[in-house]
Amino acid sequence: MRSGRAVIFVATALLGCAGLAAHAADTSYSEIAKGKALVDAGDCAGCHTAEKSKPFAGGRSIPTPFGMIEAPNITPDVGTGIGGWSEEDFYNALHFGKRPDGSPLYPAFPYPYYTKLTREDVRAIYAYLQTIPPVKNEAHQNRLMWPLNYRFFMHGWDWVFFDAGEYRPNTQKSPQWNRGAYLVEGAGHCGACHTPKNALGGDETSKYLLGGVIQNWFAPTIANNMQNGTGGWSEDDIVEYLKTGRNRFSGATGPMAEVIEYSTSKMADGDLHAIAVYLKDVSGGTTASVSPPDDKTMNAGKAIYADSCSGCHQAEGKGIPRMFPPLAGNANVKSSDPTTVIRVILEGARTVPTDPRPTASTMPAYGWKLDDKQVAAVATYVRNAWGNAAPAVSADQVAKMRKILHEEHAGGS
């Protein structure tokens, strides 16, 4: 592999993904069902559904550091969707990142991951997409910074960061491990969020699944690290989280809530267990030592916590598992990057409702009540109380996030 994979941020003006209406009559039910399962695993609806009444019709605006991406229509509408693509066109898009005319797709469409899919699985996805009701919905123009608004420059990105090739099983590992690797590295494209990116949006492969910033959230480490990863989670804990959006340690919110809603909650239990087996075998690397915060900050944060947080999360940070996440020992709380912790304190959060756990839990916003210094103090406190250890949060970091959230809300995104 070269130095990285999918520009998660630079957008997908793609998805001219695949036109598809003519061959449905020749496609078996089992093939379509297999394709649907793979589309679910790939979280395609997460980007390409703006209105639930019009699945896969595109129209969703996705903010990125490189500009705004407009998710395209991938229904089999001939005029505005993907109704004119052949099966080979579709394979070339997923495997090589190329449109039918040979021009490059933007790697926000995660072809650097989808390239690992077998041709048989791509064929099944193609078959399923042919069955989606066509919707006429023209995608808006992407608004990317120069020179990224010219697709030609993506040839250079591909040359540096992209290696096409199907997944090759590791013969030293079990079939279940290999299935998990295939899903995580391929269809699930987990590294698109959970692997940090370099300045050009390529994966920092030496930090595989060690966490990354996406859309002003921090996608945490999901490698097997006891400090700030899933080292303390059992395989069953991982499966429960992916299936229900909650477990005894955490609750899904932000971008991960959509992944649960559109993707993992719909996946077969066997595939979720395979993912868990694989993730438990991914090394979490080493954790840098952390200097403890000063007593003044900790005392101020403790007082704020007692007044505003302890009612739900409990005085000792134990929370109420599967309702109000425990903060003591919480890998997200202890992440090296405090982006998500700050964001949740400022604007609140709501866990995703799923069929097994239909009642969402909600945390109120405290940005209206606490100033930047107070938010920094309570964030620092929860990241370093009850045996936790993580870098202190500064008032400047809070001020920066407050500005970002103000701009997001002002822009209606």
Last residue within a domain, chosen from 141, 161, 181: 161
Residue 233 lies in a domain: no
Residues 6+ apart with CB under 8 A from 150: none
Identity of the amino acid at 153: F
HSE (CB half, 13 Å, CA atoms) of 277? Answer: 17
The pTM assigned to this predicted structure is 0.88
Q: What CATH number is attached to the domain comprising 155?
A: 1.10.760
User: What DSSP state is assigned to residue 66?
Assistant: T
Last residue within a domain, chosen from 128, 161, 194: 161
First to last CA, the chain: 35
CA distance 109 to 97: 8
**Cis peptide preceding 147, ω within 30 of 0:** yes
Residue 60 lies in a domain: yes
CA distance 322 to 243: 13
Q: Give the pair of three-digit tokens for residue 412.
A: 């209606």
Query: Residue 303: what pLDDT?
Result: 97
CA distance 330 to 279: 18
Mean pLDDT, contiguous 10-residue spans, the chain (413 residues)? 36 36 59 95 88 84 75 85 88 92 87 96 93 85 72 82 94 97 96 91 91 90 85 94 94 92 95 97 82 94 95 93 90 91 95 89 94 97 94 96 88 55
Last residue within a domain, chosen from 161, 192, 216: 161
CA distance 316 to 310: 8
Residue 13 lies in a domain: no
Q: What CATH number is attached to the domain comprising 343?
A: 1.10.760.10
Q: Which domain holds residue 97?
A: 24-161
Residue 182 lies in a domain: no
Residue 224 lies in a domain: no
Instruction: Report the domain count for the chain.
Output: 2
Residue 94 lies in a domain: yes
Query: Residue 12: what pLDDT?
Result: 35
Query: Residue 235: what pLDDT?
Result: 96
Residue 250 lies in a domain: no
Residue 59 lies in a domain: yes
Query: Residue 391: what pLDDT?
Result: 94
Cβ(194)–Cβ(212) below 8 Å: yes
- Please give the C-alpha separations between residue 182 and each of 125, 189, 224, 331, in angstroms, as whole numbers: 15, 10, 18, 25
